[in-house]
Structure 1
Amino acid sequence: MRVESASEAAKISGYREALTELLFQLADDELVMGHRDSEWLGLAPDIEEDVAFSSIAQDEVGHSVYFYERLHELGETDSDRLAFGREANRRRNAVVLERPNGDWAYTIARHFFYDVFDQIRLEALSTSGYVPLAHGVTKIRREEHYHLLHMRLWFTRLGSAGGEATERMRRAVRDLWPEIGGLFSLGDAESRLLEFGIIPFGAAELKRRWEQQVRPAFEEAKLPWPGSPAAPDLDGRKGQHTPDLERLLDSMTEVFRLDPAARW
């Protein structure tokens, strides 16, 4: 019978902790974005966008469930409680995603920036040493590809339209930019994620690839490039959040809190 050494046990523990942190980042990003998308139901500019955002919201929440289920396999509680039963300081979503939707331009710009980032992150994870994650992102990438096409079209259309549409898009970019850098953080787990081969590259490369894809969209939209995004004051990957997340959770978990023992 093989007995694990202390160093082997520590390595296994470190691997699990790093993987858990990443899965929470993935799941919480998708859940928060899905909830924000759902808030446009009945409020989008036209019926086509009502339908589109409803579908996108369903996709995002479905992706979050996949990641929460992987966490459950690693010993965390069930997906309902992971989604609805955790306090704000235990969430790992990027802060920019928890902000209220604002106007249509703000929503489109944020979604476009996030979808580019998410595409890069998922592409990286398709080669992850953690096989269930590498396999699972294959289907998710296909769905996210269409989200990105949709948001890029809106981003370039509004940016280049002139008049109020362009002014609103410029304002949206200006308001979003101070917190966009928070997307690229891998929190305290980055060095271990790289060490264990869970993700092939870190925050700096995520950001470089993101800029490489986003800058041409700015040119197409005839919008000025604001410069490389800086790290924000709050890092959501470390559980640092704003009162906006508290309010979002109050709304999102209202039904769950009526009977936490029920299956939703």
Structure 2
Amino acid sequence: MKRKSCHGEAVDAVQIKTPEAAAENLNYKEALINLLFQLSDDDFIVAYRGSEWLGLAPHIEEDVAFASISQDTMGHAAMFYKLLEDLGVGPVDSLAHARTAAERKNAVLLELVNGPGTYIKEPQYDWAFAVVRHYFYTIAKKIKMVALMSSSYSPLAEAAARVNIELYYHHLHWKTWFSQLMSAGGEARTRMEAAIKKAFDTAGDLFSYGNMAGDITGFNLIDESSALQEKWLEQLKMVFDSVDFALPEQLGIKMGNGRDGQHTKDLEEALSVLSEVYRFDPAAAW
């Protein structure tokens, strides 16, 4: 199957097999780089937000499990950043730590703070929001990885296949938490419903490809965002039905589209912490 990009070009599925081949078409390379930044930045920031729960999760077993998931996710970010390095965009460490908030392409939902306070000083984090955010993102990520396994850029398709294997456990973990808390009633249910509303109000860019959407899908790098979002909503609806809760009517972008560099102060503050060691010693391994 072929689709035309904004530049009128078409690429057969699974045709570009090396960074050198991708570089021969500047429009293709630009679209690929944009998509890879979306994938890597998503995992990078959500892994950090997950790591902030270390020692603060509801019980010791969850502490270990969440830390493991966050470590996996940061590994996925490193994998996608490495694909960018292979394309000559820059060193992995620099791509992860030296870019400003305005240069980031992660979805806004993933950058929001866990709650009032900081990890060091008076953290009053919202476990319901953590569950909802990570569950929603894991479903979206798994749908994307399946789609990317047919990407026209072979190194990306291969990376997606490796990532997808680990997502089975991640998905099972967050689905269990989501279902149990939604079924618990009382304060747990109330907090979960509030977290769902917050997530839907800000998750409108989760499946967006930003201002390069035409080329990203036209070059067969990944499926149309609308098709992936529909699959995501279908999966959510089944789970929502099982806990007797109506799926919100639409996704919002009340805080901007992160794919186009629109972000909150939460991201700026997170990057300041994340890049502290890199700024002190750029030669240090992250």
Q: Tell me the TM-score normalised to structure 1 length.
A: 0.93
* Map 1:46-65 → 2, pairs under 5 A: 46-65=59-78
Q: Are 1:155 and 1:221, in contact at CA under 8 Å, matched by a contact in 2?
A: no
In structure 1, the residue matched to 2:163 is 140
Q: For the Cα contact (< 8 Å) 2:41–2:77, is it kept in 1? A: yes
Name 2:225's counterpart in structure 1.
Answer: 203
Q: Which amino acid aligns with 2:226?
A: A
Distance 2:68 2:132 in 1: 18
- Output aligned runs, 1:1-264, within 5 Å: 12-102=25-115, 103-199=126-222, 201-264=223-286
Per-residue CA deviation, residues 142-191 of structure 1 (Å, 9 max, x unaligned), is 11121111101111110111111101101111122111111010111211
Structure 1 window deviating more from structure 2 (123-132 vs 224-233): it is 224-233
Q: Hey, which bits of structure 1, 4+ residues long, moved more than 6 A? A: 7-11
Residues matched between the structures, number: 257
1:220 CA displacement? 1.6
Which structure exhibits the higher relative contact order, with contacts defined as CA atoms closer than 8 Å and separated by 6 or more residues? 2
What is the Cα deviation at residue 232 of structure 1? 4.2
Which residue does the alignment assign to 2:14? none
Once superposed, what is the RMSD of the aligned Cα atoms? Answer: 1.7
Q: 2: distance between equivalents of 1:10 and 1:253?
A: 30
**Conserved in 2, the CA contact under 8 Å of 1:159 and 1:166?**
yes
Distance of 2:139 and 2:285 partners within structure 1? 34
Using the alignment, how far apart are the partners of 1:195 and 1:256 within structure 2?
37
For structure 1, the residue ranges without an aligned partner over 5 or more in a row are 1-6
In structure 1, C-alpha distance between the alignment counterparts of 2:221 and 2:247, rounded to whole Å = 32
Identity within the alignment, %: 45
Counterparts of 2:105 and 2:277, CA distance in 1: 22
Further displaced range: 228-237 or 252-261: 228-237
What TM-score results when the alignment is normalised by the length of structure 2?
A: 0.86
Q: Which ranges in structure 2 are unaligned for 5 or more consecutive residues? A: 1-7, 10-21, 116-125
In structure 1, C-alpha distance between the alignment counterparts of 2:135 and 2:105, rounded to whole Å: 20
- Output the CA distance in 1 between the equivalents of 2:150 and 2:203: 25
Shift of 1:10: 10
Distance across 2 between alignment mates of 1:72 and 1:198:
18
Query: Displacement, 1:219?
Result: 1.4
Does the 8 A contact of 1:158 with 1:221 survive in 2?
no
Indicate conservation of the 8 Å contact 1:186/1:202, yes or no: no
Name the CA distance, whole Å, in 1 between partners of 2:51 and 2:23: 42
Contact preservation (8 Å) 2:101, 2:263:
yes
